[in-house]
Structure 1
């Protein structure tokens, strides 16, 4: 397996993990009081938007040639970091 394939698989696994966590946030939102439910749902929507950015970068990477792949990886790293930071912030607020 090439480094490229390994990286793409790692990113896909992380996306799957994040989706599971977003699903948990939504489940907790359904059981929360009205104000908390609204806030958690908004947070889930924000996280999904950031997740979609990472998913789009992964798709671009899979379709890119070897020369463009390194540049796209850098963009994916930035999107990944942004999502990861937002996710950790949401997790700490809604424990």
Structure 2
């Protein structure tokens, strides 16, 4: 397996793990009181939008030419960082 394929598989596995965390937060949001539920649902929506952006970056990585791959990888890493940061912030507010 090439380094490129291994990297893509690693990111996809991390994204699957993160999806499980988002699902947990979504369940907590549904169980929250009305005021908090609105805020939590908004955060979950934002997380899902960033997750979708990350999936798009992964698709771009898969389809990228060798010349473009490094640039797209850098964009994927930025998207991953943004998603990870947002998830951590949401976790701290959902407690």
Q: TM-score when scaled to structure 1?
A: 0.95
Rounded Cα–Cα distance in structure 2 between residues aligned with 1:62 and 1:17:
20
Rounded Cα–Cα distance in structure 1 between residues aligned with 2:38 and 2:20:
19
Count of matched residue positions in the alignment of Structure 1 and Structure 2: 95
Instruction: Note the residue ranges of structure 1 that are not aligned, 5 or more in a row.
Output: none
Q: Which 4+ residue blocks in structure 1 deviate beyond 3 angstroms? A: none
CA shift digits 1:19-49 (9 cap, x unpaired):
1111101111111111111111100000011
Aligned equivalent of 1:2:
2
Alignment RMSD (CA, Å): 0.8
Aligned equivalent of 1:59:
59
Aligned equivalent of 2:84:
84
1:39 aligns with 2:61: no
Q: TM-score when scaled to structure 2?
A: 0.95
